[in-house]
Chains A and B, each alone.
Chain A
Amino acid sequence: MHPGIIFLGVVVGSVLFHIFTPWWWTDIASNWGAMDDTINLTFWIGGGVFILVCLFMVYCVFMFSYKEGRKVEYKPEDHKLEKILTIATTLGVVALLAPGLIVYNNYINTPKNALQVEVNAWQWGWQYRLPGEDGILGTAQVTKITDDNPFGINLDDPNGKDDILIEDDVLHLKTDRPVKILLRSLDVLHNYYVPQFRAKMDAIPGIITYYWFEPNKIGEYEVLCAEYCGVGHYAMRAKVIVESEGSYKKWIKEQETFSDLIAKKEKDKLNITLIVKNND
């Protein structure tokens, strides 16, 4: 069999695989449809180039296989052709880059009305902190984390007092409201990634990173850690529940604020001292 046929088969096979593949991205559940569009655009342009280049190669293989005494072209350079190819490639690249940069510009500029959610990541689990009534998260530091202060909130920061603490890996989100995810890592690198939301960003100890998205489909989504973080990396999952305004409000009411927690701990301490005293 002529090798060209197999190469042709590879190209045709690739295209068919792409068309009929059962493996494709998950249904999008956020506002980042533009990312899917840029991927599709890259597929069209890139795939076109792939097919053209490979088909040209296969054509050459068929047409110019070795034959004694075949007349071979001797043309070391062709400036006109090279110029055309350079310009065409540059145009293609610009066509891919420009939309990409526009989408990225949206990605790094968070809308003003975004709800802030701080995600705490550690080896190997998640917890969340939401701003209270004031809409502002209190400052926090890893070094201030104690049993009484699981998020390391600065005690002298008034903004932190009403922060809602969720010591659980299930996060509830309102549908159709932008969310700004602030990522804080307590130990190593992590990444809060929900495939359906498309967006992702690493959590890095020592700084706070962020990204935003707007969930627009009610449902439950699995969160994956997408940055290698040690042996338990693959098991570091969490859950996001996107729900309607009403059930979200109900959920958030049930959560504990930082001042609740302080009060509770004080009470516990008091009880302990009382027990100790009673025992004396």
Chain B
Amino acid sequence: MDETQKKEQATTHKIGIYLWIWGLLFLLSFFSYMVDWFAFQGFLRWTLILIFMFLKAGLIMAFFMHLYWERYALVNVLLWPMTAIVGFIILMAAEAKYTVFTRLLYFFIGG
């Protein structure tokens, strides 16, 4: 491949986009740090943490890892298996709740 073709490759992008994303990542990290700084609690804390986390992860995957420019075949092959993880998380959260419930009931509280 000659030089001109190389330049047009999907993998080369204007430097501006990288700098933008870089800045956004710093900003989002700062925000999630602020969540702790202001000691938000409960639902608000969790929503903010998760939003910032997924935004950061999404930006890194989409732009730094070039997933935004990849064809859907690759994107789908990579993202669909995550459903197994999501299922695992949901079930293990339920399991953990159950464990702590029986522990408290039979070891400490009784009744």
Contact = CB atoms under 8 A, between A and B. Distances in A.
Interface of A: 136-141, 154, 157, 159, 182, 184, 206-209
Q: What interface size band does chain B fall in?
A: 10 to 19
Interface string B75-111: 0000000000000000000000001001101111111
Contacts of B106: 139-140, 182, 184, 207-208
A64 to B, nearest CB: 41
Query: Which of B99, B108, B110 has the most chain A CB atoms inside 10 A of its CB?
Result: B110
A209 B101 CA distance: 11
A69 B66 CA distance: 58
Contacts of A136: 110-111
Nearest to B105: A208
B98 to A, nearest CB: 8
Contacts of A184: 106
Contacts of B103: 206-208
A204 to B, nearest CB: 9
Nearest to B98: A207
A141 B110 contact: no
A206 B102 CA distance: 9
A206 B96 CA distance: 12
A136 B107 CA distance: 13
A225 B29 CA distance: 53
B66 to A, nearest CB: 40
Contact of A141 (B105, B107, B109, B111): B107
A272 B108 CA distance: 33
B102 A139 contact: no
10 contacts: A136-B110, A136-B111, A137-B110, A139-B108, A139-B109, A139-B110, A154-B108, A159-B110, A206-B103, A209-B102
A258 B47 CA distance: 49
A141 B109 CA distance: 11
Nearest to A141: B107
Contacts of A141: 107
Contacts of B108: 139, 154
Contacts of A182: 106
Given A207-B99, A208-B102, A140 B107 contact: yes
B30 to A, nearest CB: 41
A85 to B, nearest CB: 27
Contacts of B107: 139-141
B47 to A, nearest CB: 31
A205 to B, nearest CB: 11
